[in-house]
């Protein structure tokens, strides 16, 4: 039995999304910008998908801009907003636990002369509101702190950041990368009070190649891709309709199932932790597991790569952190100042709606076998 526990990297596309995508490719294949019947049909599908994403966020459809994924959406949010705010303050706040899709655009802005503050997490992997408040300045133009960390599952208090900005009557723009939280933990644009929110399709059983950025009306976004008036002038290029339709279908179903699936996944995570502690007493659980979908563990006497290779050979697929890091040490775990042997022995186990107790048992059993036969 193969066990896929790397869902924070990418999920299996659900059948309903595949069916919708096939229909979009084989029947409604017109360009959404065309004025004839096929174009109008495609445009209707595009807007229906936009409405689905908007509904799940509790937003107005006109605030949703489709992109090729979370990385592009983050770039549009940060670079686009920074260009629109160039006459305002030069200070930016972010965290040391951000995904590379946020870190790299901010580094580019730093190279352009922006003053950037990188906040360190606490022992649970979160950026406390007090830490944020102490770094917020009168000239802070832009903030980007993720909602759910992709390595540890820690959930940051984004609403508290927004409340502090409002309390000081600042014009600071707040962005959050919510890719790991969308249709997984409950939130809306109102509950976060963020100006910009990034979401992605392939983390919630939709296809790769589609994502979206929520931008409220007060943020002026400069487009990164020019050459047409697609996406209300914010992102030129014919929309990848099949991927967007699959995204919309996955969001509709994922949002409807959010509570029930979340409870089931949380129970599975707790079961897995119990089995790990029972069968492998030396295991270290990293973080407090705010998100039920991510479980970060460590076996300090082993190397992550060795454990991963053994598990993979037995049909068990986990990771040691974000896929974009290509096997490098997790910046989030380093920022938490964990002992080097804990970081070097860390594994990320990430669940989905399709994960089962039998798979968890197989994972724990195989990991225990690895600790018994591999060289420490």
Give the chain as a 3 state SS string.
CCEECECCCCCCCCHHHHHHHHHHHHCCCCCCCCCCHHHHHHHHHHHHHHHHHHHHHCCCHHHEEEECCHHHHHHHHHHHHHHHCCCCCCEEEEECCCCHHHHHHHHHHHHCCCEEEEECCCCCCCCCHHHHHHHCCCCEEEEECCCECCCCCCECCHHHHHHHHHHCCCCCEEEEECCCCCCCCCCCHHHHCCCEEEEECCCCCCCCCCEEEEECCCCCCCCCCCCCCHHHHCCCCCCCHHHHHHHHHHHHHHHHCHHHHHHHHHHHHHHHHHHHHHHCCCCEEECCCCCCCEEEEECCCCCHHHHHHHHHHCCEECECCCHHHCCCCCHHHHHCCCCHHHHHCEEEEECCCCCCHHHHHHHHHHHHHHHHHCCC
Of the residues 193, 296, 301, 324, which is catalytic?
Answer: 324
Q: Is 324 a catalytic residue?
A: yes
* C-alpha to C-alpha distance for 331 and 285, rounded to whole angstroms: 17
> How many C-beta atoms surround the C-beta of residue 234 within 10 A?
20
Gap between the Cα atoms of 52 and 253, Å rounded: 10
Q: Which of 137, 145, 160, 69 is nearest to 102 (CA)?
A: 145
Catalytic amino acids?
324
């Amino acid at each position: 039995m193969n066990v896929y526990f790397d869902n924070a990297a990418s999920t299996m596309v659900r059948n309903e999304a595949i069916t919708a995508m096939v229909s979009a490719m084989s029947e409604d294949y017109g360009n959404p910008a065309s004025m004839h019947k096929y174009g109008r049909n495609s445009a209707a599908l595009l807007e229906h998908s936009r409405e689905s994403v908007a509904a799940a966020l509790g937003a107005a459809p006109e605030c949703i801009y489709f992109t090729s994924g979370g990385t592009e959406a983050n770039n549009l949010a940060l670079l686009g907003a920074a260009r629109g705010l160039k006459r305002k303050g030069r200070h930016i706040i972010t965290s040391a636990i951000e995904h590379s899709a946020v870190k790299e655009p901010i580094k580019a802005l730093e190279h352009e002369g922006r003053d950037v503050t990188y906040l360190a997490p606490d022992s649970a992997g979160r950026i406390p509101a007090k830490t944020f408040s102490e770094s917020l300045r009168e000239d802070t133009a832009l903030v980007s702190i993720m909602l759910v960390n992709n390595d540890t599952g820690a959930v940051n208090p984004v609403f508290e950041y927004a409340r502090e900005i409002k309390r000081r009557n600042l014009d600071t723009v707040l962005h959050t990368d919510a890719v790991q939280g969308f249709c997984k933990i409950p939130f809306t644009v109102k509950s976060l009070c963020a100006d910009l929110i990034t979401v992605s399709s392939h983390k919630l059983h939709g296809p790769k190649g589609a994502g979206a950025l929520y931008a409220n009306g007060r943020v002026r976004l400069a487009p990164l891709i020019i050459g047409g008036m697609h996406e209300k002038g914010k992102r030129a290029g014919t929309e990848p309709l099949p991927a967007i339709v699959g995204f919309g279908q996955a969001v509709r179903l994922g949002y409807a199932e959010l509570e029930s699936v979340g409870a089931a996944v949380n129970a599975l995570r707790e079961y897995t932790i119990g089995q790990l502690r029972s069968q492998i007493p030396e295991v270290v659980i990293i973080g407090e597991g705010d998100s039920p979908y991510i479980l970060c563990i460590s076996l300090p006497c082993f190397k992550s790569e060795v454990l991963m290779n053994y598990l993979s050979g037995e049909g068990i697929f986990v990771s040691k952190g974000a896929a974009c890091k290509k096997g490098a040490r997790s910046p989030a775990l380093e920022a938490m100042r964990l002992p080097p042997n804990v970081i070097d022995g860390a594994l990320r186990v990430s669940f989905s709606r399709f994960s089962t107790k039998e798979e968890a048992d197989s994972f724990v059993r195989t990991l225990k076998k690895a600790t018994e036969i591999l060289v420490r």
